[in-house]
Structure 1
Amino acid sequence: MEIIEVTNKSLLNLFLDAPGNILKNYPHYIAPILSNVKDTLSIKKNPLWQVAERKLFVALKKGKAAGTIAAIYHSQHKQYNPEDAVYFGYLHFENDPGLLHELVSAVKKFASEKKVNTLIGPLNPSLNYELGILTEGFDSDPFFMMNYNPPYYPALIEKEGGKVAMEFLAYNYRQGIKTDKIERVSGLLKNRYNISIENINFKKFEAEANELCEVYNDAFKGHFGFIPFSEKEFLFMAKALKQILNPQLLFKVKLKGDTAGFMLTIPNINPAVKQLHKGRLTPWGIIKFIYRLRKIDSAKVMLVAIRKRYQELGLGSILYSEMNARTKKAGYLQGEISWIAGENNKMQKITESIGAEPYKKYVVYRFNV
């Protein structure tokens, strides 16, 4: 077995193809859109890499890729968190504890060079993107931008010494669930605080994205693993999501003219992504992808952000009530609400008030170096 650092295009392609080969016999694994992964990892395209650095590693067994891992150091992590940390991400591996040990050791060596004593992950490549190892809910396909792995992943990670740093829940909900209570609360709050719902002006997309970035950073400051988005990085992600976004499913809640929060819900395009071969948008793949998009009937609540000064006003009820009405009108029969931190009891309570139930659990682990 050999651990090789990715230093050229050929090795990068090996790194990107490896997960699909490792998990090809697991029917619920869906390879992400390859071009999206490339853009996220691109030092030229993704502004994240202006303040972070990475090394990518591939594990070879008998000349074939048997595992992958990334080591990521974000220069601002220590500024916003109790201790410094190196992230590990893009972790995939065959069912071999020795293989996992070598992959983790490569990241630990990177951390030692940075004089950092803690690893956190998987984060692909930070907490603002895909995260976690699936530990519950292996019997169904993941929604878009959600990870999938077989049960041996968490078992071997914990055997290797990984400890739970934070749990995140994904909730499943269906249209038709009684929402009378949350709608009644929403109506009372709107009248009491002069609250309104406003759509995003897509003609002023960059300015709108900058405002939402500010709200996001205010809302999540102090949360586990928080690092603020720069306006450039937030816009980078916003432009990527804009390609699949239903404009009616991104909206703001305003209180006396001030943007107090927003909610982002995206179509769950994974049933279409699943039609692609290893996530590649080939000409024939694009045809199948577009055809399958017409049949999408589920959506994912990706982000709920409320400024800290408004978090005690119950605005989450208003956002959820609005989301429920808008997704129903758009024809989405079911959906997922994720990720919700295991420590965020308030958001869990609001989510469960609309009849949503936790059905998948993801864990971010930590290792001592």
Structure 2
Amino acid sequence: MIIVEEVQNEVQKKEFLEFPSRLYQHDKNYIRPLNKDIEEIFTPEKNKFFKTGECKRFLFKNKQNETLGKVAVFVNKFYKQHQPTGGIGFFDCINNQETANFIFDYCKSWLQERGMQAMDGPINFGERDKFWGLLIDGFIEPLYGMNYNFPYYQELFENYGFKIYFEQLCFSRPIFAEVSRVFTVMHAKYSKNPNISAKPLKKNNLEKFAKDFTEIYNKAWAVHGEGKQMSEGKVLKMFKTMRPIINEHISWFVYENEKPIAMWMNIPDLNQWFKYLNGKFGFFEKLKFLWVKKFKKNEKMVGLVFGVVPEWQKKGLEGYMIWEGTQHLRKHTDFKTTELQWIGDFNPKMIKIAENLDTTITRKLATYRYLFDQSKEFERHPYL
């Protein structure tokens, strides 16, 4: 017999956060997410998606009051699909198919009561940039904001009947690996052009770089399938929020006569510091974070955005930018690896860009879908 508890009081909220830590206590690659990052997702005042959606959390226990699993289930009006589709996320479960099936059945019923015809998972009650997808290959330390799970989770999902809606590919390369000759040739070419220059992002001039970022981003990404226009104000706010963790050696902009034409944005992987905090971020943890940040080498950086304005695409400018930035950061930082945040397998253009950057796939996540009417034809995410 499995007992279901909706997460409502402080004891239940704490258990929702603590259960994964017990489950993964012997897994050396597990890095506990910050409690505040999880709780903010389930706080209406902090998460705008509550204005147009509904979300509940549940614990699943045995008769001895021992937690066997947990999950969040939600509907979001802005999650547009062919059929009404809800989501599940923050799923953790013991290695037992019957328990997993019970959890999935419970989510299915909850979503059906709200008119849904399918469920995707594990996904976030929010944007795709955090806590999205099930790890199916590359069981190494997760990047900040990335889901991590045991390999057996894939069987739990697929045995129930979930199918892969799309794969999420992460690309990486060693900082000191040999750089493609194409990059060095293009660097030599553009270095001779007095109209072309490369500049690293500087904290003391965030307004300028926010403006340049916005111009490049909106030109480079507006043509991509799910590209969204960004406002300069929103970008500046994002930059100011990121200010404490910006490394001035690893984000680069390229200009033609001072007009921004390309960018390569990176940040340190925060998990390389947060893994020492055990999910907490109170006053003493913040002091510890500052100490760790100062004295512990962070050897992994994360690629956030790479963009070239349309008129400069396919001209080798990225080679100039990558080699200019790489030479600099090799001298001035401790980073040894860079990893691009995931790219959906439905986006061949971006995959090609990642491959052209001399990267290799280092991990895969999957977004699964389960159709409540199993007689309907399953369709994967359409290509962009």
Q: TM-score, normalised by structure 2?
A: 0.78
1:156 Cα offset (Å): 1.0
SS of 1:130's equivalent? coil
Partner of 2:376: none
**Which of the residues 55, 75, 78 maps onto 1:76?**
78
Higher alpha-carbon deviation: 14-23 or 323-332: 323-332
Is the contact between residue 263 and residue 308 of structure 2 (CA under 8 Å) also seen in structure 1?
Answer: no
- The one-letter code of the counterpart of 1:63 is N
1:265 Cα offset (Å): 1.3
Partner of 1:361: 364
Specify whether residues 114 and 144 from structure 1 end up closer, same or farther in structure 2 by C-alpha distance, changes over 3 A only. Answer: same
Residue correspondence of structure 1 range 156-175 to structure 2 within 5 A = 156-175=156-175
Residues 3-45 of structure 1 show CA distances to partners (whole Å, capped at 9, x for unaligned) of 3222333322222222212222222111012223223433212
Partner of 1:37: 38
- The one-letter code of the counterpart of 1:58 is L
The percentage of counterpart residues that share the same residue type is 24
Higher alpha-carbon deviation: 234-243 or 91-100: 234-243
Is the contact between residue 221 and residue 227 of structure 1 (CA under 8 Å) also seen in structure 2?
Answer: yes
SS of 1:115's equivalent? coil
* Partner Cα separation in structure 2 for residue 231 and residue 7 of structure 1: 39
Partner of 1:296: 297
SS of 1:243's equivalent? helix
Higher alpha-carbon deviation: 156-165 or 188-197: 188-197
Specify whether residues 34 and 242 from structure 1 end up closer, same or farther in structure 2 by C-alpha distance, changes over 3 A only. Answer: farther
Partner of 1:117: 117
Higher alpha-carbon deviation: 310-319 or 16-25: 310-319
Residues 236-293 of structure 1 show CA distances to partners (whole Å, capped at 9, x for unaligned) of 765554332213433444566665554331112323322223x113565455544433
Specify whether residues 213 and 241 from structure 1 end up closer, same or farther in structure 2 by C-alpha distance, changes over 3 A only. Answer: same
Structure 2 residue 101 is matched with structure 1 residue 98: no
* Partner Cα separation in structure 1 for residue 224 and residue 106 of structure 2: 28
Structure 2 residue 154 is matched with structure 1 residue 151: no
Aligned length: 365
- The one-letter code of the counterpart of 2:66 is K
* Partner Cα separation in structure 1 for residue 160 and residue 226 of structure 2: 22
Is the contact between residue 89 and residue 122 of structure 2 (CA under 8 Å) also seen in structure 1?
Answer: yes
Partner of 2:380: none
Residues 112-140 of structure 1 show CA distances to partners (whole Å, capped at 9, x for unaligned) of 234232222222333132321111122x3
1:59 Cα offset (Å): 1.8
Runs of at least 5 residues in structure 1 that lack an aligned partner in the other structure: none
Partner of 2:382: none
Higher alpha-carbon deviation: 91-100 or 233-242: 233-242
- The one-letter code of the counterpart of 2:161 is G
Is the contact between residue 215 and residue 260 of structure 2 (CA under 8 Å) also seen in structure 1?
Answer: no
Partner of 2:343: 340
Specify whether residues 91 and 318 from structure 1 end up closer, same or farther in structure 2 by C-alpha distance, changes over 3 A only. Answer: farther
* Partner Cα separation in structure 2 for residue 234 and residue 49 of structure 1: 23
1:365 Cα offset (Å): 1.0
Is the contact between residue 317 and residue 350 of structure 1 (CA under 8 Å) also seen in structure 2?
Answer: no
Is the contact between residue 172 and residue 361 of structure 2 (CA under 8 Å) also seen in structure 1?
Answer: yes
SS of 1:123's equivalent? coil
1:349 Cα offset (Å): 4.2
Specify whether residues 257 and 210 from structure 1 end up closer, same or farther in structure 2 by C-alpha distance, changes over 3 A only. Answer: closer
Is the contact between residue 301 and residue 335 of structure 2 (CA under 8 Å) also seen in structure 1?
Answer: no
Specify whether residues 324 and 237 from structure 1 end up closer, same or farther in structure 2 by C-alpha distance, changes over 3 A only. Answer: same
* Partner Cα separation in structure 2 for residue 167 and residue 336 of structure 1: 17
Partner of 1:65: 67
- The one-letter code of the counterpart of 1:338 is Q
Partner of 1:130: 131
* Partner Cα separation in structure 2 for residue 231 and residue 45 of structure 1: 22
Partner of 1:243: 244
Q: TM-score, normalised by structure 1?
A: 0.81
Is the contact between residue 262 and residue 309 of structure 2 (CA under 8 Å) also seen in structure 1?
Answer: no
Partner of 1:176: 176
Runs of at least 5 residues in structure 2 that lack an aligned partner in the other structure: 373-384
* Partner Cα separation in structure 2 for residue 312 and residue 292 of structure 1: 40
Residues 140-199 of structure 1 show CA distances to partners (whole Å, capped at 9, x for unaligned) of 322333222111011111111111111122233222222242232355468789655455
Is the contact between residue 91 and residue 122 of structure 1 (CA under 8 Å) also seen in structure 2?
Answer: yes
Is the contact between residue 265 and residue 303 of structure 2 (CA under 8 Å) also seen in structure 1?
Answer: yes
Instruction: Flag the structure with larger Rg.
Output: 2
- The one-letter code of the counterpart of 2:166 is M
* Partner Cα separation in structure 1 for residue 241 and residue 94 of structure 2: 31
1:211 Cα offset (Å): 7.2
* Partner Cα separation in structure 2 for residue 177 and residue 305 of structure 1: 19
1:355 Cα offset (Å): 4.1
* Partner Cα separation in structure 1 for residue 302 and residue 192 of structure 2: 25
